[in-house]
A and B are shown apart, each in its own frame.
Chain A
Amino acid sequence: MSDDRRNTTHFGYEEVAVEEKATKVASVFHSVASHYDVMNDLMSFGIHRIWKKFTIEMSGVRKGHKVLDIAGGTGDLTMAFSRLVGDEGEVVLADINESMLNVGRDKLLDRGFGGNIRFVQANAESLPFPDNHFDCITIAFGLRNVTDKDKALADMARILKPGGRLLVLEFSKPTTALMSKAYDLYSFSALPLMGKLIAGDSESYRYLAESIRMHPDQETLKQMMSDAGLDHVEYHNMTGGVVALHRGVKL
């Protein structure tokens, strides 16, 4: 009881008890799951497809690989990996949120995917996979919502094979003052309004804008990945640093 600050974390700009964060994040994603894909296209003007495409190119995933897509949600990366790894490979789509997982599974089955894809509901902080198992792990727009990011990164490093790669695609810090201004204006005014008009939920999209600002910047995340035991950690800014792709290798 000597230090209250140890027991709180941020939920957007709000200070909440550590135990509360997962529940609050869960309610955001239960709320947005059914509109998730259309909102992604609208909010990013479709650019999220380019960010994801670059992630896939940087993944080095090939035939026969085992890939884990954490916070895989509605399955955009999983679909691409499923094609790349082929019948001998395997893609696991994991998400902590049941609604997102159901939307993802329905979408993938509708599009004829299935054979090499598995679905698991799991928490990124304690992953239900053995040590040294995956050739590649991705977490796209998910790490921001994890309560204990250091613990999650360490557990991802644990289940990577030696030589395996972790790719973190996430919102980051714009690299120029002008970009930063424009981005602030857009995300704090336009985003909640779009959320209200299309998804009937401005609060969840306000959380999105706030959680992006609270997320560690490029250099901080790079250091966190090194501390988690990953080597050769590097990052690539995209769209003026609005988004960054971090990549690390387990040696």
Chain B
Amino acid sequence: MDKQLLAMLVCPLCHAKLDYDREAQELLCRFDGLAYPVRDGIPVMLEEEARQLSADEKLEKSS
């Protein structure tokens, strides 16, 4: 995904910065415990399309 876009995007719910998981193609908000999918290079910043993070994933530090 585009670097400048990545730098700009925040969580649509809490407006916090997101962690990018390149392998899983997901943008993670650890506050809300949500993973927003990146499909075909386009970030899908919709709550209803996001995956709930597990307790472990929420605690994981961003690398």
Contact = CB atoms under 8 A, between A and B. Distances in A.
A164 to B, nearest CB: 15
A121 B44 contact: yes
A119 interface: yes
A118 interface: yes
Main secondary structure on chain A at its contact with chain B? mixed
Contacts of B63: none
A105 interface: yes
A121 B12 contact: no
Contact of A120 (B9, B13, B40): B9
A13 interface: no
Contacts of A119: 41-42
A119 B41 CA distance: 8
Interface stretch (A27-35, A124-132, A205-213): A124-132
Contacts of B61: none
Interface string A75-108: 0000000000000001010001010011001000
A149 interface: no
A130 B46 contact: no
Interface residues of A, number: 20
B10 A118 contact: no
Contact of A105 (B2, B8, B42): B42
B45 A122 contact: yes
B15 A120 contact: no
13 contacts: A98-B39, A118-B8, A120-B5, A120-B9, A121-B44, A121-B49, A122-B46, A123-B45, A123-B46, A128-B9, A129-B8, A130-B8, A130-B10
Given A92-B5, A121-B45, A123-B46, 11 more contacts: A101-B42, A118-B5, A120-B5, A122-B12, A123-B47, A126-B12, A126-B13, A128-B11, A128-B12, A129-B8, A129-B9
Interface of A: 90, 92, 96, 98, 101-102, 105, 118-123, 126-131, 133
